[in-house]
Amino acid sequence: MGKVYDALKRADEERGRRVHGAAAAPAETPYSEPLPAGSPRPDPPRPRSLAFLAGLGRAQLPAAKETAGTLNKRRIVLLQPDSFVAEQFRTLRARLDSLAANRPIRTIGVTSALPGDGKTLASIGLAVVNAMQPGRRVLLVDCDLRKPSVASSLGLRVDAGLAEVLTESAPLEDALVRVEGHELEVLPVRAVPQNPSELLASEGMRKLLETLSGRYDRVILDLPSTLGLPDAKTVSELCDGVIFVVRADVTPEPEIASALDVLDRRRVLGLVMNGSEPLSSRYESMR
């Protein structure tokens, strides 16, 4: 099934041993060489990436219905900055910073195969811990123009958003919102347009990301889920890399493989397993 699936399988087996009380090696969180890819990029050489299996416990998984509890789960890193989940995102941030030493990684798309896998939780968590670094300017962009959830998850008042900026009905400055008490800015979605795919594929979107990457040290884009719609693929091609979110024991392996093929595995910086049992950290070579 490939290196990522081997990692997922090992994590599932480890959880099974813990549940049934079998003797096992100390619980660990593996980090790996990246997802299966084609030939390496010739110039510059493709940097090492990661498969990040994060123990984002089941209590932190978003539910299907938008409740106050669901919204709080998505902003858990804001509410509990010293929590285990927040530390997992800090580890992911450090690994991305390590990759960025080899090539520019300013714009990072976050997506999943299917809705409900936890991509918005991951987008918010990664953006928040990046904004915690002194002197780093960070922007979180909600690119889901069909079912946006970043603004509601963060409790933001939105007067203008991504669609208004792309249609030039509002300037960018009017659409940017700062999260109260935090050094994080957000470009949310206000109105759901009738032509989301066309707007995301427009020249205006490309120019907007160029502007944002020149203004911010890191731009995190909450993309729609990959399968069934062209939106995630379209925007991911404008990003420096993609983080792919898998929901443990839920996301079917065929859908994972299909989504990775759609995205182009060479563009995927790493994988986050959402909903795995909390495990202590280790580094494991998977060559």
Question: Rounded to 5 degrees, what are φ and ψ at 81?
Answer: -65, -15
CA–CA separation, 201 and 209 (whole Å):
12
What does DSSP assign to residue 265? G
CATH code for the domain of 245: 3.40.50.300
> pLDDT higher for 75 or 94?
94
In a domain? residue 280 = no
- The pLDDT of residue 80 is 75
Given pLDDT bands bounded at 50, 70 and 90, which one contains residue 18? Answer: very low
CB 157 within 8 A of CB 177: yes
Condensed to tens digits (0 to 9), the pLDDT of residues 218-275 reads 999 999 999 999 999 999 999 999 999 999 889 999 999 999 999 999 999 988 988 8
CA–CA separation, 273 and 202 (whole Å):
32
> pLDDT higher for 238 or 78?
238
In a domain? residue 42 = no
Query: Across residues 49-70, what is the average pLDDT?
Result: 46
Q: Tokens 């010739």 — which residue?
A: 42
> pLDDT higher for 32 or 279?
279
In a domain? residue 9 = yes
> pLDDT higher for 183 or 43?
183
> pLDDT higher for 31 or 152?
152
Both structure tokens of 18:
């813990």
Given pLDDT bands bounded at 50, 70 and 90, which one contains residue 109? Answer: very high
pTM for the predicted model, two decimal places: 0.75
Write the Ramachandran bin of 127: left for phi over 0, alpha for psi from -120 to 50, otherwise beta.
alpha
In a domain? residue 283 = no
Q: How many domains does the chain have?
A: 1
Condensed to tens digits (0 to 9), the pLDDT of residues 187-197 reads 999 999 999 99
In a domain? residue 43 = no
* E strand residue ranges, the chain: 52-56, 107-112, 138-142, 177-178, 185-187, 218-222, 241-247, 268-274
In a domain? residue 147 = yes
Query: Across residues 144-161, what is the average pLDDT?
Result: 94
Both structure tokens of 197:
């795919």
Give the residue numbers spanning the domain of 10: 3-37+48-274
Neighbours of 24 (CB within 10 A): 14
In a domain? residue 151 = yes
CB 159 within 8 A of CB 190: yes
The 3-class SS string of 16-63 reads: HHHHHCCCCCCCCECCCCCCCCCCCCCCCCCCCCCCEEEEECHHHCCC
In a domain? residue 129 = yes
- The pLDDT of residue 6 is 56
Residue 223: which of 198, 240, 200 has the closest Cα? Answer: 200
Query: Cα angle at 171 between 169 and 176, to 5 degrees?
Result: 120
Strands 218-222 and 107-112: parallel
